[in-house]
């Protein structure tokens, strides 16, 4: 592809980049061209909002400023820093990728082809990093860009299918300015994130409005995906404390599909809220071992996780006999008493733990 100057670029590209230069958000990962730092941001931003990612990103790079620092880390420490960010498989893949880089000389890959050889890096992530940091002339297609271009082309097809995707790829390449590929890609992503939003897009602010075939009915494009209906799950959660007020946590087995290796409050699935305390105690003993004294349900907490809608029924509890723990179930791994006020940053937990304990503290206060 011949390199065009700004004056030779398509009018739409000039308008897009002028718009981006004038009003782009000041995000921390846009202040660097370091492959490692941009990679961290791209992985964290997968399925996660920008506002949520920023503090995690800053804390992560402060603790692991280079890929070799990350490669030398323990998984538990990485998961603890990741706590609350969700989709924990991303963190494990980052550790695996960092260790692979360390074994290959410690230099982070720079081309999209080489980047795709690392765990957790697919075509979009590789293209984004290579275009931003190395100036590789390669377009990106993330969810925001797909939406912008599907509306521009009035494409009401499934953008994940091969033929429509090739059309989107060609359109993204046509809008790319080869001497500013990273900015071109980020401009399209920024446009989708801030103007050409999934609902109620502000077409009057769009630099590509004149050539957009879908501007008169933007909500029609792209063809909406059928949302998977979440499965309703009711679960009893035991908040067990010792005489010092420490809370009991267990660590999920590494082989679990969801939240593997994270620390959790003891919990069991039940058929309905307000299940008798004795039944909950029996289920906890079967699942975790030990002997449990469980009080009646004190409150409920709603929580969503990966196509599940959880109703969490909270029961104060005491663990009367620890002797059988870890002998009854693979889930009863590494039971630990934790001072939640002073030690929680040392343990990788899901946001569900924080939500449940906050609800209990509200009742107790």
Of 42, 136, 146, 171, which is the active-site residue? 42
Q: Where are the domains of the chain?
A: 6-220, 231-364
In the prediction, which pLDDT does 65 show?
Answer: 98
Q: Is 42 one of the annotated active-site residues of the chain? A: yes
Q: What is the CATH number of domain 231-364?
A: 3.90.79.10
How far apart, in whole angstroms, are the C-alpha atoms of residue 32 and residue 1? 26
CB atoms under 10 Å from CB of 316, counted, come to: 18
Q: What is the pLDDT of residue 2?
A: 45
Cα dihedral 139, 140, 146, 152 in deg (nearest 10): -20
Q: What's the token pair of residue 66? A: 């280079």
DSSP string, 224-269: PPPPPPPEEEEEEEEEEB-TT-PEEEEEPPTT-SSSTT-EE--EEE
- For residue 259, give the nearest of 308, 294, 318 by alpha carbon: 308
| 8-state DSSP, 125 | H
- Round to whole Å and give the CA distance between 237 and 251: 15
Residue pair 169/160 in contact (Cβ under 8 Å)? The answer is no
Token duo for residue 3: 């390199």
- CB-based contact 264:271 (threshold 8 Å): no
pTM comes to: 0.85
Q: Which of 88, 70, 87 is nearest to 79 (CA)?
A: 88
Return the DSSP state at 223.
P
6-220 has which CATH code? 1.10.340.30
Write down the pLDDT at residue 323.
55
What local confidence, expressed as pLDDT, does residue 34 receive? 97
Cα distances (angstroms) measured from residue 318 to each of 46, 210, 240, 262: 39, 66, 5, 22
Helix (H, G, I), strand (E, B) or coil at 351: helix
297, 276 Cβ separation under 8 angstroms: no
- Residue by residue, pLDDT tens for the chain (365 residues) are 444 445 455 899 999 999 999 999 999 999 999 999 999 999 999 989 999 999 999 999 999 999 999 999 999 899 999 988 988 999 999 999 999 999 999 999 999 999 999 999 999 999 999 999 999 999 999 999 999 999 999 998 889 899 999 999 999 999 999 999 999 999 999 999 999 999 999 999 999 999 999 999 999 999 877 778 889 999 999 999 988 889 999 988 766 666 778 899 999 999 999 999 999 999 999 988 888 999 999 999 999 887 889 999 999 999 876 655 544 444 445 688 999 989 988 888 988 999 999 999 888 76
Q: What is the chain's percent helix, strand, coil content, to nearest 5?
A: 45, 15, 40
Q: Rounded to whole angstroms, how far apart are CA atoms 352 and 219? A: 34
Phi-psi region of 91 (alpha: psi -120 to 50; beta: other; left: phi over 0): alpha
Cβ proximity of 299 and 363 under 8 Å: yes
Query: 235 forms bridges with which residues in the sheet?
Result: 269, 312
| Residue corresponding to tokens 């590209």 | 13
Q: CA angle, corner 162, sides to 157 and 166, nearest 5?
A: 90
- SS3 at position 182: helix
């Amino acid at each position: 592809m011949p390199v065009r100057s700004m004056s030779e670029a398509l009018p739409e590209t000039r308008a897009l980049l002028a718009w981006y230069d004038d009003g782009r958000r000041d995000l921390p990962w846009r202040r660097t061209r370091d492959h490692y730092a941009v990679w961290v941001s791209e992985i964290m931003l997968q399925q996660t909002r920008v506002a949520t990612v920023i503090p995690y990103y800053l804390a992560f790079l402060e603790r692991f400023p280079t890929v070799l620092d990350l490669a030398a880390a323990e998984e538990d420490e990485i998961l603890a820093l990741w706590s609350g960010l969700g989709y924990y498989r991303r963190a494990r893949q980052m550790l695996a990728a960092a260790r692979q880089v360390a074994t290959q000389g410690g230099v982070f890959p720079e081309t999209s082809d080489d980047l795709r050889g690392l765990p957790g890096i697919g075509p979009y992530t590789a293209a984004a990093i290579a275009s931003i940091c190395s100036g590789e002339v390669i377009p990106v297609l993330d969810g925001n860009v797909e939406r912008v271009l599907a509306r521009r082309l009035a494409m009401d097809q499934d953008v994940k299918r091969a033929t429509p995707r090739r059309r989107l790829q060609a359109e993204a390449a046509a809008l790319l300015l080869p001497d500013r590929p990273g900015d071109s890609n980020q401009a399209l992503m920024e446009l989708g994130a801030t103007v050409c939003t999934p609902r109620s897009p502000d077409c009057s602010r769009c630099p590509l409005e004149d050539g957009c075939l879908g501007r008169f009915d933007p909500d029609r494009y792209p063809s909406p995906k059928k949302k998977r209906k979440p499965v309703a799950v009711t679960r009893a959660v035991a908040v067990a404390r010792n005489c010092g007020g420490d809370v009991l946590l267990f660590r999920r087995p590494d082989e679990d599909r969801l939240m593997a290796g994270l620390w959790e409050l003891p919990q069991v699935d039940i058929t309905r809220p307000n299940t008798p305390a004795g039944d909950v105690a029996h289920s906890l003993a079967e699942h975790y071992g030990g002997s449990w004294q469980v009080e009646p349900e004190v409150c409920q907490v709603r929580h969503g996780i990966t196509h599940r809608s959880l109703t969490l029924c909270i029961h104060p509890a005491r663990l009367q006999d620890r002797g059988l723990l870890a002998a009854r179930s693979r889930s009863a791994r590494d039971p630990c008493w934790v001072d939640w006020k002073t030690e929680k940053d040392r343990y990788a937990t899901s946001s569900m733990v924080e939500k449940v304990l906050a609800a209990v503290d509200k009742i107790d206060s």
